[in-house]
Amino acid sequence: MAYDEELARRIRQAVEAAVGTLDDYREIKMFGGLCWTVNTHMAVGASNDDLMVHVGTDGLESALQQRARHATMGQRTMGGVVLVAAEDLPDSRSLGCGGV
């Protein structure tokens, strides 16, 4: 499984802080990394050295203007999902999660 362990730890803490109870989210090994689902829908993940975020079609253009790039699986672009390099997430504010 190839993913940045430190990034995964930070995501885990952010999801726990934002969502609350374990009943509302799950951490799943997926896409060669880790994925967090909230109410059964993929929300965020860690794959290689990237943060994977489901931004939806409405948030896609804005995310792409802020250093994110399209997420792909093979030749297919994943709709409404972007990747952000871990190196572009230096602190807790960059994850939007307060004190992580």
List the chain residues with pLDDT less than 70.
1, 21-22, 31, 90-100
Residue 100 lies in a domain: no
State the pLDDT at residue 41.
Answer: 87
Q: How many residues comprise the chain?
A: 100
Output the domain CATH number for residue 14. 3.90.1150
Q: What is the pTM of this model?
A: 0.78
Q: Domain range holding 64?
A: 5-95
Neighbours of 32 (CB within 10 A): 12
Q: What is the rounded distance in angstroms from the CA atom of residue 100 to the CA atom of residue 86?
A: 14
70: tokens are 């399209």
pLDDT tens digits, residue range 66-92? 889 999 888 999 989 999 998 887 665
The number of domains in the chain is: 1
Is residue 25 assigned to a domain?
Answer: yes
Residue 54 confidence (pLDDT): 94
Q: Is residue 26 situated within a structural domain?
A: yes
